[in-house]
Amino acid sequence: MKIHKQKIELQTTTQIEFIDITKQVEDVVAASGVREGQVLVYSTHTTSSIIVNHNEPMLIQDFMRMLYRLVPVSDRYSHDLFELNRASTSDGRSNGHSHCKAVLLGNSQTIPIEKGQMMKTEKQSIFYVEMDGARKRDAVVQVMGE
Amino acid sequence: MKIHKQKIELQTTTQIEFIDITKQVEDVVAASGVREGQVLVYSTHTTSSIIVNHNEPMLIQDFMRMLYRLVPVSDRYSHDLFELNRASTSDGRSNGHSHCKAVLLGNSQTIPIEKGQMMKTEKQSIFYVEMDGARKRDAVVQVMGE
Amino acid sequence: MKIHKQKIELQTTTQIEFIDITKQVEDVVAASGVREGQVLVYSTHTTSSIIVNHNEPMLIQDFMRMLYRLVPVSDRYSHDLFELNRASTSDGRSNGHSHCKAVLLGNSQTIPIEKGQMMKTEKQSIFYVEMDGARKRDAVVQVMGE
């Protein structure tokens, strides 16, 4: 069995951002030499997610609107009061909403591999979903198989 | 290590549909000869999902109502304008809402295997969730283990 | 390839409860002897979920508020009528909302392993999310790798 992994490093630039990391994941799959198996894409953070969907700019606006509507920034989040009360050690972010959004979308995706290629279709892109940017971020890409 | 996979082909008949594919997945697990390992069920589309939950017809109505309430068809989705503006190549579907629903539910499930059987309990069924039917669809079922 | 698994048994005490099972999962990973690979944490029930996020008590209140807001207990769920009509065999729970919540959060998480440790960061805790307690519950923790 082959196990190969690599970290992808990202610099996000705004609060909510969908970053297409398909090419980076393809490169790790190619470097792994795995012909049959799986790739796991995992966010090591608690205010970001990994999703697979269509990379169409207006659709990404729809995703953002859905996230803001289902988990409004304008609500009161207890976590933000907690952070306020430990201001000396807090990073000063009111990001209760970001954690909630991350729980809804989940923090990893697994994609099967066949003949060295991900078995996703052309319209499926892999996104790193930033929900508390801008920040430096990373994701683990791990390939297992033969 | 054994790696075995198979595509399941489906024909959906309506816009939102929960199709129980438990038996098909069980057949692939049995055919794999894997005694200890995992099975990954993966949707290769961007407007459908895989979930695991209870197959009770009235509960499935509740799932549908939740999906329509959280992501209303009646909202305006930018993606639908995008598709409208490229009408010559578009499939003519206003399916911004379907992509949004798919992002919420995710597009795969992984289930552990013990002694050749999925370690799910009796009330857990595996569903292919169509959110932009009717269409031809397929899912990848991949078993890894020993 | 090594495959090692163990069941975690839990006793929940209230309707919605976030139980931090990070330590139990770490123990299974350690017992597995796997240095490079993955761990799958899987809920065998249909009204509970597994998530990875920050264990901060006020944030957990935010998660609960989000779940109650997105899937209100006060809505009418057809599943509850179904259970009412088969009262002799029903467990008497009106838990349509719990199934809906479980579908939103999903019922497993996969975390990569490196040098015998989960590649999660310090702020990432693994939670068993009870959404129809109090009950006896269990989760499968399965480690695969080398």
Chains with 3+ CB–CB pairs under 8 A to C are A, B
Which strands, in side-by-side order, build the sheet including B125-130?
Answer: B17-20, B125-130, B48-53
Q: CA-CA distance, C53 to A60, in Å (whole number)?
A: 24
In residues, how long is chain A? 146
Residues of B in contact with C44 (CB under 8 A): 119-121, 124
Q: How far apart are CA C85 and CA B77, in angstroms?
A: 40
- Percent helix, strand and coil across chain B, each to the nearest 5: 30, 35, 35
In the prediction, which pLDDT does A85 show?
79
CB A109 within 8 A of CB A91: no
The beta-carbon neighbor of A81 closest among C58, C63, C114 is C58
φ and ψ at B32, to 5 degrees? -75, -25
Q: What are phi and psi of A68, to 5 degrees?
A: -65, -35
CB of B3 within 8 Å of a chain A CB? The answer is yes
Which residues are CB-contacts of B129 (< 8 A; sequence separation ≥ 6)? B16, B17, B18, B19, B48, B49, B50, B51, B105
Taking phi over 0 as left and psi of -120 to 50 as alpha, with beta for the rest, A8 belongs to beta
* Mean pLDDT, rounded, for C54-79: 96
Mean pLDDT along residues B111-116: 98
Residue with tokens 């289902």: A70
Q: At what angle are helices B96-105 and A96-105 packed, to 10 degrees?
A: 90
Q: What digits encode the pLDDT tens for the residues A84-123?
A: 877 666 667 889 999 999 999 999 999 999 999 999 999 9
DSSP per residue over C41-71, as a string?
EEE-SSSEEEEEE---HHHHHHHHHHHHHHS
- pLDDT under 50: residue ranges of chain A: none
Whole-model pTM: value is: 0.97
Instruction: State residue C89's pLDDT score.
Output: 64
Q: How confident is the model at residue B81 (pLDDT cuts 50, 70, 90)?
A: confident
**Chain A residue closest to B144 (CA)?**
A37
Q: DSSP 3-state assignment of B30?
A: helix
Q: What is the ipTM of this complex?
A: 0.95
Give the pair of three-digit tokens for residue A88: 């000396």
Nearest-angstrom CA–CA distance, C145 and A145:
10
Confidence of residue C46 (pLDDT cuts 50, 70, 90): very high
Query: Smallest Cα–Cα separation from B10: which of A49, B23, C76, A130?
Result: B23
pLDDT value for B71:
98
| Average pLDDT over every residue of C79-104 | 85
CB B146 within 8 A of CB B34: yes
- Whether residue B117 is predicted with pLDDT greater than 90 in this model: the reply is yes
- Select the residue from A41, A49, A53 to test the B interface by mutation, using most B Cβ atoms within 10 A: A53
Query: Residue C82 pLDDT > 90, yes or no?
Result: no
Residue A67: DSSP 8-state: H
Instruction: State residue C52 phi and psi, 5-degree precision.
Output: -120, 120
The pLDDT score that the predictor gives to residue B93 is 82
User: Are the beta carbons of A112 and B46 separated by less than 8 Å?
Assistant: no
